[in-house]
Structure 1
Amino acid sequence: MKAVVCYRRGSPEVMEIIEVDKPVPRSNEVLVKIHASAVTAVDTSYRRPVGNISEGKPRPRRLGYYLTGEVEEVGREVKKFKRGDSVYGGDVLSPGAYAEYKCLKENGILVRKPENISYEEAVTIPYAGCTALPFLRTIGRIKKGQKVLVIGASGGIGIIAIQLARYFGAEVTGVCSTAGVEMVKSLGVTEVIDYSQVDFTRNGKTYDIIFDTPARSSFSRCKNSLTKNGKYLTTIPWPKDLLQMFWTLVLSRKKAIFAPMGLRPSFSKRKDLAFLNELIENGHIKPIVDRIYPLEQIVEAHRYAENEPKRGNIVISMV
């Protein structure tokens, strides 16, 4: 089967498509014929160099973390899934989704796909949904009537965060590029701020939650835009923010908060996906796809993800 690997970290051009053996499921695994995968920040980060750290002897690294597809074969102990089930899932600890097939554990991060969305739409949910939901519901403790600002509103996490915040009854403002303004408006936000035209930190408005989905801002920059008990949530804590996060826990009602959502246990993520499935089936969440690339254009897909303004999710099609 075809699979994407890289022998060293670097630009998108380090990725190669090679032929590898089709995997065989163990007794507690299912074999998924992959229909689509996604290009997320996790994927591009794993591929890029890490400073000047030497990697030692080159070795092939499998790429891709999230997938959707059809169960082709099940191990003898598998009870939850059967051949022909449409499923989606994936995990940051288990790469290899940029391929035609992949085995996943029955009790891993894998659920059935809602019937009212496509394979390409479904593959955007595991990363974006399992990041946005716990940040807003568990860490941010979002409440009805609160004012929420979403930075990176037209990106994968931002799109889900907006729809979740509205579901929880919040008043939502989205910050995005010019290219994403109309799409973000279509999500029902109260206001859209084009960051190339307006600096939200200088407009005099305050928010109960500022969710910095691409981690491009900072607590120090955003703190004056928070209400007295406001929270700044970020997906990546920059070094300059770490000390501030500690001090805000002790000295300030305003909080800067980071949590490693990708490292949560599988059962927690499965519960989140089950909840997100309900919202999708009831029309509260609609995934948005910006572009779909065939596997053969994986380099172009990563290049677009890193260099162009987002208007949704970027998907890799295997069929």
Structure 2
Amino acid sequence: MMSKTARIAPPFADRRTMQAVVRDRYGSADLLQLRQVELPTITGDQVLLRVHAAGLDRGAWHIMTGRPYLMRLAGFGLRAPKNRTLGSDVAGVVVAVGPQVTDFRPGDRVFGTCFGTSHGSFAEYAVARTNKLARMPADTSFEQAAVVPGSAQTALQALRDHGRVQAGQRVLIIGASGGVGSFAVQLAKAFGAVVTGVCSTAKVNLVQSLGADHVIDYSSTDLAQMTERYDLVLDIGGNRSLSRLRRLLTAHGTLVLVGGEAGDRWTGGLGRQVGAMLISRFVPQRLVSFITKENSADLETLARMIEAGTLIPQLDRITPLAGVADAMHDLEAGRVSGKVAVSVAS
């Protein structure tokens, strides 16, 4: 039941259950099941969304597998996941609002993240906090909007806040064809940078279409042998050593580590991130890692850029809820270019 003080859109007031992608323990995508579960409740500053589309990203894989194990100590559940549902990025329609909500009302089309709530976006309904939502950009489909929040905010904060990108700078984006990378290339160009993207042979055309000035195929070019130096390097989900990445920088350049799959199953890329912080104290170069802060202001910035045509979400495919497990396998295997959208409601 909803809180007595929650405002609920009439067509949904009697709904009690929903379909959702769930799992009962940490592990591979083979454990994911589409089940009928209880409809979530909302309180305080939360809203209930009728999910029209959700975005699939690497963060969902980490939460699904519970790796690195350190994240389990951070509140996700030690032996088994606290939240059975998955999915963070979402686009949908508000159907109910908590008693403290003043910015949104039932019927609003919104996009954002469900991160930090008890119910994920791979479901017919999801819960989100208002400070992690914004109104959807005009003339944008739910599927396009759903893949923006996590990846595009990460790219924006990596370039603007931590990379301190400036017009005319030379920017190298390693992992340019992925979820974060496909947004980072476009954003770096919007900031006036000269952009070089690094990707596999099969994805060169995509990175060129995003506006990259130069594209490097890592299967035929060894980055360690390159003589070009960059003012800013974004290493997205990589595992290259800090010493090798530093050699790609100018004397006072900046390296931003965005995620990372290096390290063991216990700490993941934490060792490399801590190492970057320590080294940065003793060299003229800046080595930075960060955790994305989901917020409404950045979502509104991204929405304006989408409306202006400066930023275009790159959809690899659109899959139904029943296809999440297969899409997760493809994401893990590197068979995804750009983003996968999960279509939930037409």
Distance change >3 Å, CA 29–CA 255, structure 1 → 2: closer
Q: Which deviates further from its counterpart, 26-35 or 286-295?
A: 26-35
Measure how far apart 1:17 and its partner are.
1.5
Give the conservation status (yes or no) of the 8 Å contact 1:177–1:309.
no
- Alignment correspondent of 1:43: 60
| Whole-angstrom CA distance in 2 between matches of 1:69 and 1:292 | 15
- Alignment correspondent of 1:10: 27
Q: Which amino acid aligns with 2:25?
A: R
Q: Does 1:253 align with 2:284?
A: yes
| Whole-angstrom CA distance in 2 between matches of 1:66 and 1:112 | 14
Which segments of 5 or more consecutive residues in structure 1 lack a partner in the other structure?
none
CA deviations 1:148-175 (Å, max 9, x no partner) are 0001101010011111111111000000
Measure how far apart 1:13 and its partner are.
0.6
Distance change >3 Å, CA 58–CA 141, structure 1 → 2: closer
Give the conservation status (yes or no) of the 8 Å contact 1:71–1:85.
yes
Q: Does 1:175 align with 2:206?
A: no
**Correspondences of 1:100-179 after superposition (within 5 Å):** 100-105=124-129, 107-179=130-202
Q: Which amino acid aligns with 1:159?
A: S
Measure how far apart 1:178 and its partner are.
1.4
Give the conservation status (yes or no) of the 8 Å contact 2:21–2:34.
yes
CA deviations 1:248-271 (Å, max 9, x no partner) are 33221122210122xx3x6xx211
Measure how far apart 1:27 and its partner are.
5.6
CA deviations 1:160-217 (Å, max 9, x no partner) are 1111111111000000111211111011111111111112231211111110111332
- Alignment correspondent of 1:96: 120
Give the conservation status (yes or no) of the 8 Å contact 2:91–2:109.
yes
Measure how far apart 1:76 and its partner are.
4.8
Distance change >3 Å, CA 198–CA 8, structure 1 → 2: same
Q: Does 1:296 align with 2:346?
A: no
Measure how far apart 1:242 and its partner are.
4.0
CA deviations 1:86-142 (Å, max 9, x no partner) are 11111432351111012323x330111001221111111111111111111111110
What is the CA RMSD across the aligned residues, in angstroms? 2.1
**Correspondences of 1:17-28 after superposition (within 5 Å):** 17-26=34-43, 28=45
| Whole-angstrom CA distance in 2 between matches of 1:249 and 1:257 | 8
What secondary structure is seen at the aligned counterpart in 2 of 1:130? helix
Percent identity (aligned): 34
Measure how far apart 1:243 and its partner are.
5.2
- Alignment correspondent of 1:277: 303
Give the conservation status (yes or no) of the 8 Å contact 1:38–1:123.
yes
Distance change >3 Å, CA 40–CA 5, structure 1 → 2: same
- Alignment correspondent of 1:214: 237
| Whole-angstrom CA distance in 1 between matches of 2:68 and 2:40 | 34
Measure how far apart 1:49 and its partner are.
4.5
- Alignment correspondent of 1:61: 84
Q: Which deviates further from its counterpart, 54-63 or 79-88?
A: 54-63
Distance change >3 Å, CA 157–CA 242, structure 1 → 2: closer
Give the conservation status (yes or no) of the 8 Å contact 1:8–1:59.
no
Please point out which of 51, 54, 58 is paired with 1:34.
51
| Whole-angstrom CA distance in 1 between matches of 2:149 and 2:254 | 24
| Whole-angstrom CA distance in 1 between matches of 2:270 and 2:302 | 32
Distance change >3 Å, CA 48–CA 254, structure 1 → 2: same
Give the conservation status (yes or no) of the 8 Å contact 2:114–2:126.
no
Distance change >3 Å, CA 89–CA 195, structure 1 → 2: same
Distance change >3 Å, CA 3–CA 229, structure 1 → 2: same
